[in-house]
Structures are given as structure tokens and as C-alpha cells.
Chain A
Amino acid sequence: MTVRRANAFDLHVPAPRARPGDKPDFSDWSFPEPGDTPRPEVDAPAAELRDFAYGLIRVLDLGGSAQGPWAPRLGADALRRAMKSMLLTRAFDERMHRAQRQGKTSFYMQCQGEEAISIAQATALAPDDMCFPSYRQQGILIARGYPLVDMMHQIYSNRLDPMKGRQLPVMYSSKKYGFFTISGNLATQVPQAVGWAMASAYSGDGRIAAAWLGEGSTAEGDFHAAMTFAGVYRAPVIVNVVNNQWAISSFQGIAGGENTTFAARGVGYGVPALRVDGNDFLAVYAVTQWAAERARSNLGPTLIEHFTYRAGPHSTSDDPARYRPADEARAWPLGDPIERLKAHLVGLGEWSEEQHRIAQEEAIEIVRAAGRDAEKVGVLGVEGAHEIGSMFEDVYKDMPWHLKRQREEAGA
């Protein structure tokens, strides 16, 4: 006979390590040392790669020295270029965040602390590989040389906004730069990337796809759909989970992070999964290169968990001081991605404090110049930026009668 015990259960609601007023303390966390993780062959069977989902691939030690078999062979020029892209991204974010505060636009999202992920991955992928980003991968566009002023036109929804004022700021789209139109519905882009990769495999053109989502949105069914289809059809796709610890105010435990790693999600689908220090430019570059080579060799998908920290607010509509310690970002045990690459370059004798300062100033000046140009065209709310009639265009390829009628009604 079954004996039921009253009050036997304790509904577990995960809670983060620290809340406002608490002292952030990561001293009990331990990570594999840089250089300690072996680098498997790209054609290793998924079943032999399971441990990578639970470890952490690191190349740069906190002093900036590159260690071990994952250390990529990247020339100093490429590293300096990447550094400049990261500085440009940070300067862009700072200016656009401020522009929102000044009332020039409705909304902005920074990627502070996560710059290495977009920039290292854009560096490792081919320029025509197809990216299905979430809203925090502006670094891809910047690394690929998309004009900053066009990003600003989009953020200001002005007359020259390539999206014609239809999208929330930062929801960029550029087919020319291999950057899929960003959706505000989370994780929808991931199974789409898988479909794109399946089409690429069907057409045989050698291009691969990559998708990004946050750890929070791995809870969406779309992520399960993506992983299932990617595994089943061995699609040439890289699925990147950017684990920045926070989904707006919900810490990663609310998405299941207390129980296992996000990389471990891949194990159940038979998809190789690598977990990497997302603040380590060289490690991110190396794992992306590994996954890209694997995909290009017709060996199918890879899941990468980028372990990082969202140093800024979720968006301009968010105030993280209400749910996490204000100095948690500074306490993050894996540092800041720009500072770490800087230390590496300086250690190599390929960079200096002076060069860094000049590069920062140049980045700020490039952004300032683009900002002046964009603001000359207009900021959000300038009347007449878009013809009323443009609202009815692109709903369909050809405008059906009912939209023509509504366009007339709107006085266009």
C-alpha cells in the first residue's frame, strides 16, 4: 500500500547567488585551466565529445597568455582588426544607449561584455556564411563592415532607415551582409537557421548557417525543434547559446542552468556541444572554427555554449540594479573580453597602452561622425520621415485591393 506523506514536497524555485545589496562572490566557482582541454579532431564522433559539454574551453589565461591545443593561429593583423571591431562595437553601444536617454530613439540594446562572441565568430566564419542573430549580435555587422550610419538610421527609424521605420531599434536586416532579419519573438530564428542550412545542403553551395540565442530562450520549444531537425538532417549549422547569466531579470537557473550546462542540451540530440569561455576571444574563435570546419566537412551541426556575463542592462527599458548586485559584472571571474585580448596583444608585443588609447579614441570619433550624419537625416519622431503610404508596402509582393483601399483611407 502506498503511503502518502503530507508536506513531503518542497517546490523548488531557483534563486540567484546574490541580489541587490549582497556582495557578489564567485570564489567557489572553479573552471578548467586555460590549455587543459584537449582539442578533438573535427571528425570525432559526437559520442566521444560529450565531456566538452560539461567543461569549459579556455585559451587565454587572465594574464593574457594563450595556452594549449585550442590556441588558434591568428596573425597579429587579424587580432588588431578584431580589437578595433570590439572597441567600435563598445563605442557604438555607448553612444546609442546615450542617444536613447537623450530621447532620440525609443529603445536600444547594448552587448557590453559580450563583444568577443560576435566579433570572434564573424572572424572565424566566411563572410558569406549566413547568420541568424538574436538582438545582441550587432558585433557581427560591425565586424563585417556594415555601415554604422545605416545601423543608426535603423535605430532612429529615419528617412534612410533600411527597414523603412517598421522595426524596433536594433532589429537590423541585411541579406547582402548575410544577416537575417531579427525577430523580437525569441528563438524563432534558430530552427529557421537549421532550415536555411538544410537548403544549403540541398543546393550544395558550401555555405553554412549560424544562429544565436540566449540561455533564457533555450527554454522555448523552437530551440528543441531546431536541435531535433539539426540532428536528424545533419544540417551544416552552428547553434550558439550565449549564456550571459541573465534573461532580463531571470537568472540562468530559471532556464534550467542549476541542473546542467546549456551545452549539455546538445548531448540528448546527439549533437556535439562545446562549452567555451565567452570572454576569451581566442577560445571563441577556435571553437567556432572547429564547428565551421566540421559543418563544411558535411559532419553536421555543433552547439556552442558561450559562458559570459551581460555587463549592461537587458535594454534601455531595464534597470538591473533592481534585481542583481550593481558590481556583479566587475566581479565576474572571467574578466572583460576587450581587456583580455588587449593583455594578450600587449604580451605579444603587438599592441601597447598608447595604441589602445588611440584606437579607443578613433572608435569614438568614427561613431561620432556616423552619429552626426545619421542625426542630420533625422531621429525618431521627425515628421514626414516616412510616407504614410509606405506602411502598406511589402505586406505582400503585390498590394491586394483591401490594402489599396486602406491606403486611400489613411489619406496616402
Chain B
Amino acid sequence: MTSMTMIQALNSALDVMMSRDSKVLTFGEDVGYFGGVFRVTEHLQQKYGAKRCFDAPINECGIAATAIGMAAYGLRPVIEIQFADYMYPAYDQIVSEAARIRYRSAGDYTVPMTVRMPYGGGIFGGQTHSQSPEALFTHVAGLKTVIPATPYDAKGLLISAIEDDDPVIFLEPKRVYNGPFDGRRDKPVQPWSKHPASEVPEGYYAIPLGKAQTVREGGDLTVLAYGTMVHVALAAAEDSGIDAEVIDLRTLVPVDVEAIVKSVTKTGRCVIVHEATRTSGYGAELTALVQEHCFYQLEAPIERVTGYDTPYPHALEWEYFPTPPRIIKAMRRVMES
């Protein structure tokens, strides 16, 4: 075991998979010699050579499309879209092609590719470096969507994503790359080394896709979250004095409905937290799932705490993304109704 940041854990996952399987290669903008703008692919070119870790032209459509061709050939490409906000030029290739090739060819061709994308705000990145586009992928049949919240999960889930025989969208919460940011404005972010989930095995291990994790047990209400918002939800639970159960979904599609149902059945109350815009966001899907499965166990309406339905505002990001006080307000409303 070594203490790793999420960046180091992701790097370790790529390193482990590239050493185990010569079919694994990685490319993207600034990914090669430089090791990526967030350093996730650092040293991989030096270790595995430029043919297995290389720079790509600034053309996300081309990055996704060539990876699809490589995957159809039989390789397992891992591509980096430098910011999830840059994904839109690749969207047709991901949605109409990668997601559908197994289906439309009746299994003749498959696309075992992983699309890594740093997402989310809180870094003063403005509109084009802060978005959370997960719902644009969870809405698409044929894709799996994964979002880790800790270094340990990031490595185990990325390894599973690379080994998966279907295209996996792997969204990385860049606000917690270097420490578990919890949305408390008055407290500095602790480094990962102080967090137990930064203890990461150096070698191979896999965390199965589609399995949530209960990161805080409680009896009063259930908070569903993923990515950065797991840490914000934990801070809210702690600061509120409410005995909240916090579930880190880890995979959005296929989602671990059993874990959700088990918890909400126990607590009878549910708050959903995400950073993405609210309307048609993934929280709407979670709300629907909870009411479909737990309607008669619910003691109160389900609440969503999300980013607002505006573009990401540069100067007002602290007001934009959910923070513990906003989550606590929602928790109180749910407890009181």
C-alpha cells in the first residue's frame, strides 16, 4: 500500500494495465511527453514508448474516432479528453458510433474503449473547464458511466473500465484530484495522504462496475452522491447533526439500484446531490428510481441539491455548486416534512 492522490492512483491504474496487456494504449492532447495537463499519464511515454502513450491533434472527434477504430481492431485504447467540456466535438462518435457498434453489428464488432475526462468545477475554470456532462452519457444506450470519488476507487474502477468489453465513460472529479475537497469554505482542503481511501495497492485490483458504496451509515435519511459531491455530502452530514447515510454511487450506468433501495427503505428519506445542472440531470433519474422502488417507504418528498440551470459562472462558483449549507437546508426540509 502507498498513499496516493487520485492523479497518482489513475496513473498507477494505467501503468498496471499497460504492463499487463500490450493491447492497452493511451493518447490525447498533451498526454504523451508532457504526461497530461493534470499529470495523469506522467512517465508512461518514457516507460512504454511513444507508440503506446502519445500526443493527439486538438481534435476530440478524431481522438474518439481513431480509438473506436483501434478498439474495433482489437486493442483497448484509453483516451483522455482534456476537459469534459471539450467532449462535444466527439459526441457523435461516442453516441452514434462507440455506443451502438456492438448492437448494430449484432456483436460482430465491439468497442472496448475507455474515455477519461476530468469534469466538474470549483477550480475557477469558468464555463468551459467546469461542466458536469454525465447526464449526456447516462441517457445513451450502450455506454457505461463511471465516476470515482477517492484514489482507491479511481484506480480499481479505471482498471475495470479498461477491462470492460463495452465503451466506458470515465469522469474524473478534478476538484478532488489532489485532496478530498468538501465544500467547506472556511477550511483548507486536506491532502489525500490524511484520508484512508488514499491507501492504494501498487499492483492490480479491480472494483466491479455497477456497485455503489455506503461511505457513511445512518438511519435518518439517505444522501445519494458521486464524485466530488460525496465529500461535500459527508461534510454536510457531519455538520448537520442529522444521522444521514451517504451512498457513493461510483457507477451511474448501470446504477446499483439495490444499494439505493436498501438504504431508502431503511431511512424513508432521500436527498440527491450533484454538481450538474438540475433539469434533466442525473438526479431526475435517481428521483424516479427511488419513487418507483420505494414510494410506500418514503416519509417525505425527495429533494435534489444541484448546480443551477445556468452556464457555470466563473466568479460565483461557490454560490453555484452545492456546498454543505445548501445540502443541510435540504436535509432539514426532508426531515421536517
Annotate B73-111 by CB proximity to A: 1 below 8 A, 0 otherwise: 111010000000000010011001100011111111110
Task: Report if A401 contacts B (CB, 8 A).
Answer: yes
Are A166 and B106 also in contact (CB < 8 A) when A199-B74, A396-B166 are? yes
Task: Report if B72 contacts A (CB, 8 A).
Answer: yes
Q: Which residues of A contact B62 (CB under 8 A)?
A: 191, 194, 222, 225-226, 228-229
Q: Which residues of A contact B166 (CB under 8 A)?
A: 396-397
Closest residue of chain B to A191 (Cβ to Cβ) is: B65
Q: Is the CB of A188 within 8 A of B106?
A: no
Interface centre among B59, B62, B102, by most chain A C-beta atoms within 10 angstroms, is: B62
Q: Is the CB of B69 within 8 A of A196?
A: yes
Are A188 and B70 also in contact (CB < 8 A) when A166-B104, A173-B105, A402-B254 are? no
Annotate B186-216 by CB proximity to A: 1 below 8 A, 0 otherwise: 0000000000000000000000001000000
Residue in A164, A181, A226, A229 whose beta carbon sits within 8 Å of that of B109 in the complex: A181
Annotate A166-183 by CB proximity to B: 1 below 8 A, 0 otherwise: 110001011100001101
Annotate A297-321 by CB proximity to B: 1 below 8 A, 0 otherwise: 0000000000000000000000000
Q: Which residues of B contact A199 (CB under 8 A)?
A: 69-70, 73-75
Q: Which residues of B contact A226 (CB under 8 A)?
A: 62, 65
Question: With the chains together, A188 CA to B101 CA distance in Å?
Answer: 12
Q: Is the CB of A174 within 8 A of B108?
A: yes
Annotate A140-173 by CB proximity to B: 1 below 8 A, 0 otherwise: 0000000000000000000000111011000101
Question: With the chains together, A195 CA to B108 CA distance in Å?
Answer: 18
Are A395 and B61 also in contact (CB < 8 A) when A173-B108, A193-B69, A199-B74 are? no
Q: Is the CB of B65 within 8 A of A232?
A: no
Q: Which residues of B contact A402 (CB under 8 A)?
A: 254-255, 257
Q: Is the CB of B103 within 8 A of A185?
A: no
Are A195 and B70 also in contact (CB < 8 A) when A185-B92, A402-B254 are? yes
Q: Is the CB of B105 within 8 A of A192?
A: no
Q: Is the CB of A185 within 8 A of B102?
A: no
Are A195 and B110 also in contact (CB < 8 A) when A181-B101, A188-B92, A395-B103 are? no
User: Which range holds the interface residue count of chain A?
Assistant: 35 or more
Q: Is the CB of A167 within 8 A of B65?
A: no
- Total contacting residues, chain B, CB less than 8 A: 44
Residue in A180, A198, A400 whose beta carbon sits within 8 Å of that of B70 in the complex: A198
Q: Is the CB of A200 within 8 A of B65?
A: no
Q: Which residues of B contact A175 (CB under 8 A)?
A: 105, 108-109
Q: Is the CB of A221 within 8 A of B69?
A: no
Annotate B135-171 by CB proximity to A: 1 below 8 A, 0 otherwise: 0000001101000000000000000000001100000
Q: Which residues of A contact B56 (CB under 8 A)?
A: 229
Minimum distance in angstroms from B103 CB to a CB of chain A: 5
Interface centre among B66, B70, B144, by most chain A C-beta atoms within 10 angstroms, is: B66
Annotate A223-235 by CB proximity to B: 1 below 8 A, 0 otherwise: 0111011001000
Annotate B255-267 by CB proximity to A: 1 below 8 A, 0 otherwise: 1010000000000
Residue in A164, A180, A196 whose beta carbon sits within 8 Å of that of B106 in the complex: A164
Q: Is the CB of A181 within 8 A of B51?
A: no
Task: Report if A394 contacts B (CB, 8 A).
Answer: yes
Q: Is the CB of A195 within 8 A of B66?
A: yes
Task: Report if B67 contacts A (CB, 8 A).
Answer: yes
By Cβ-Cβ distance, the 7 closest A-B pairs, closest first, are A195-B69, A195-B66, A225-B62, A191-B65, A400-B254, A199-B73, A196-B69
**B residues neighboring A (CB under 8 Å):** 25, 51-52, 56-57, 59, 61-62, 65-70, 72-75, 77, 89, 92-93, 96-97, 101-110, 141-142, 144, 165-166, 210, 253-255, 257
Q: A163-B106, A192-B68, A200-B73 are in contact. List 16 more A-B contacts (CB 8 A).
A: A130-B73, A166-B104, A171-B104, A173-B106, A175-B108, A181-B109, A183-B104, A188-B92, A188-B93, A195-B68, A199-B70, A222-B65, A225-B65, A229-B56, A400-B253, A402-B255
